[in-house]
Chain A
Amino acid sequence: MAGKPVRPVNAIDQTRRMLSLVTYLRERPGARIEDVARAFGITEDELVSDLDVLPMCGTSFRGGDLLDIDTDGERIWWHNPAALGADAAEPLRLAADEATALLVAARAVATLPGLRESDRQALLRATAKVETAAGEAAGASSRLSVTFESEGGVFADVDRAISERRRLWIRYYSPARDEVTEREIDPIRLVSVGHTYVEAWCRRSEARRTFRLDRVAEIKILDEPSAPPEVELRDLSEALVQPAAEDPEVVVEVGPGGRWVAEYYPHDSADELPDGGLRITLRTPDPASLRRLALRLGRDGRIVAPRELADSARRAAHEALAAYDGVDAEDTAGGGQTERPGPAAGGRAVHDGPDGRYDRQEQGL
């Protein structure tokens, strides 16, 4: 199911869960497997594997005080709850990592511009209560913070359209073609991964599309009902867009100053070059859309293949230079200073510009 927490088999997580299970089951003789699994956010298989371990646990394997917990496959029975003193089964305080995980996430979500005020208030109240309950353990949460970006007005309209099941009209900017187009969409969900996106059924292309909110130039909630077809929600945790195997291949060679390309573009391979640069192979359904990248890279990199893409970037550069009076494309002697000294800790490329990882959003998935 999309949206389930990532949960690898891990002795610490399982121990933590079993300690809570013991507390929970003690109060609920005959609890149903199905209900307990749901209450703990785990699969029934995971619960059954916990129930296999618990009978091996107790305060001493010699004293015969192992937990006598078993199941008939439907319900869970604990035959000797007295094996643990009442106070040994009390709910446990939150660990530093637990408090951090909840608090940092709750604070981050509360910063989302456009979030409903009632949701924001609930998040803030819950945060305050968890802080109090966690006590000192909450302190470490101040060392992590996360900001989600969103366009508040657009977010609020999309959120409202989803809850009222209404269609949206948008004007949307596509960086790949540098154009703004109008379309009607039936919104499905809002996804925040750094930036915020709306996943929707696009009525113009009759396909699922993902739109980044800060590229929505204009938005209106229409009176027509929204009727997106049933689509399987994918897990969007890795990348919103994954290239398809049949997409044409593009090869880019970058110097040290162009290594950011590997961070922003999903790629098949990135091989180290002797000068500290990279040879990056990636795929895209529309190589022409990478002309922007070729232009942006300047002396920090070049397109190796396909040839037409490299040529088109070269032509664009020539054409652009022609507009500058007295500037000769071939004259490199008088070149201006581009090597601006970087900030001390070294950084760039976080600009919206090279954020090409998501440039294919509007092209569908």
Chain B
Amino acid sequence: MAIAKAERLMNLALCLLGTRRPLSKRELRDSIEAYVEASGPGRGAGGSDDSFNRMFERDKDDLRELGLVIETVESLDGEIGYLARRDSNRLPPITLDAEEAAALGLAAKVWQQARLAGAASGALQKLRAAGLLEDVDPFEAHGALEPRIPVHEAAFEPLMLACRDRRPVAFDYRKANAARPETRHVEPWALECWRGHWYLAGFDRDRGAERVFRLSRITGKVRSRGAAFTAPVPDVVTVRETVASWAGEIADRTARIRLRSGAGYPLRAKAGAVRELGDGWDELEIPYGHGLDAWLVEFGPDVVVLEPAELRADVVDRLRAVAKG
């Protein structure tokens, strides 16, 4: 039976951490049973060097992924050696009081995404191994508060890594009203979650400008592109302002509507002024931003738009579409 990957990674980590001088690839191959096994009987004759080399490169990447700093050193006779120096891998001194430890325990439970949930647990385990968090149980529930960061979008993980590593990507994206998706080439800057949905901000190479994408509209796979970023990354990326304006949160005008008494509580909550008309109707002034027409139509015969005329026309048009069936 093949030796489990975790065992192989653990052995490689212990070898690299335990050595004081760089170890050559050959030394590592001879020290780790899984590599001996992978190299097969033809080892040394070059027969299965390829499979060992591929495995070794992947394993190093995996260990770097979990935080190990592995140095590559070339010796005088040109041989490459590897080691993980203590100074660069040791957790710096850190102290946490009980409240801070509990706060991190709460934070570590927030991710609903496997990779980040695993990373958060791993971070707490490292702090635990360092002798921190002794007095509290950070994995236990923190009072009655349960924040959760939902991640349902398949595009999240590849985009997170691309943002982290500053790698350009390409993906198929279906705009809100488009019948077909279109391929977009993007230098990804940052991901932001608002109201439970993830958005990407980045530089759209085809349009030569900053764009915000909603992850749920990405269809198919996110592909990595090799080259470096071509546009400067801004210091502050503001996804939420853009999304809020789509959502009609940013209203620059005011609308006047009639609302049936007792109906439409959320409209009343947003209203600047409410006037009782006495005939079973109230008159309201409400902020008018993108999407207000669609929202008002939801209230059916309980809302009548008075002005502006443009909003009135939009609402009538929508109502006609429904009336026609």
Contact = CB atoms under 8 A, between A and B. Distances in A.
Contacts of B77: none
B293 interface: yes
Nearest to A293: B298
Contact of B125 (A40, A133, A163): A40
Contact of B304 (A135, A179, A324): A324
Contacts of B316: 321, 324, 327, 335-336
B197 A194 contact: yes
Interface in B1-55: 3-7, 9-11, 13-15, 17-19, 30-33
Q: Give the interface centre of B4, B33, B111 by most chain A CB atoms within 10 Å.
A: B111
A130 B104 contact: yes
Interface stretch (A59-67, A73-81, A243-251): A59-67
B67 A38 contact: no
Contact of B6 (A14, A192, A355): A14
A123 B118 contact: no
B207 interface: yes
Interface string B109-123: 111111111111111
Interface residues of B, number: 148
Given A17-B122, A133-B91, A320-B303, A192 B213 contact: no
A344 B176 contact: no
A84 B316 CA distance: 77
A239 B197 CA distance: 13
Contacts of A10: 114, 118
Nearest to B195: A194
A92 B313 CA distance: 64
A173 B265 CA distance: 7
B90 A93 contact: yes
Interface in A93-125: 93-102, 104-106, 108-109, 112, 115, 118-119, 122-123, 125
A143 B112 CA distance: 18
Contacts of B310: 336
Contact of B7 (A19, A57, A125): A57
A56 interface: yes
Interface string B232-245: 00000001101101
B275 interface: no
A204 interface: no
A223 interface: no
B190 A143 contact: yes
28 contacts: A5-B118, A7-B114, A16-B66, A16-B122, A20-B128, A40-B139, A41-B139, A54-B10, A87-B86, A91-B130, A93-B69, A93-B91, A96-B164, A97-B119, A102-B120, A105-B111, A123-B107, A137-B67, A178-B302, A194-B194, A291-B300, A316-B322, A317-B300, A320-B303, A320-B304, A329-B323, A340-B290, A352-B266
Interface in A254-296: 256-257, 259-260, 263, 275-277, 291-296
Contacts, number: 490
B193 interface: yes
A359 B216 CA distance: 20
Given A87-B86, A101-B116, A148-B147, A109 B110 contact: yes
Nearest to A155: B145
Nearest to B193: A146
Given A178-B264, A192-B147, A347-B214, 10 more contacts: A11-B62, A14-B6, A59-B14, A87-B86, A93-B92, A100-B164, A109-B110, A275-B179, A321-B316, A338-B293
Nearest to B124: A41
A143 B191 contact: yes
A350 interface: yes
B214 to A, nearest CB: 6
A6 interface: yes
A126 interface: yes
A5 B125 contact: no
A21 interface: yes
A60 B137 contact: no
A182 interface: no
A98 B190 contact: no
A302 B318 CA distance: 12
Contacts of A168: none
A37 to B, nearest CB: 10
Contacts of B68: 92, 95
A99 to B, nearest CB: 7
B312 A324 contact: yes
> Which of A84, A105, A355 gathers most chain B CB within 10 Å?
A105
A365 interface: no
A106 B104 contact: yes
B147 A112 contact: yes
Contacts of B264: 178
Contact of A346 (B13, B176, B239): B176
- Among A180, A310, A351, the most chain B Cβ lie within 10 Å of the Cβ of A351
B117 A109 contact: no
Nearest to A336: B313
B196 interface: yes
A129 B31 contact: no
B146 A191 contact: yes
A11 B121 contact: no
B273 to A, nearest CB: 18
Nearest to A88: B18
A207 interface: no
B90 A92 contact: yes
Given A92-B90, A318-B323, A351-B247, A8 B114 contact: yes
A222 interface: no
Given A41-B138, A237-B148, A342 B175 contact: yes
Contact of A20 (B129, B139, B190, B263): B129
Contact of A61 (B9, B11, B112, B122): B11
A149 B125 CA distance: 30
A350 B247 contact: yes
A99 B123 contact: yes
A116 to B, nearest CB: 9
Contacts of B155: none
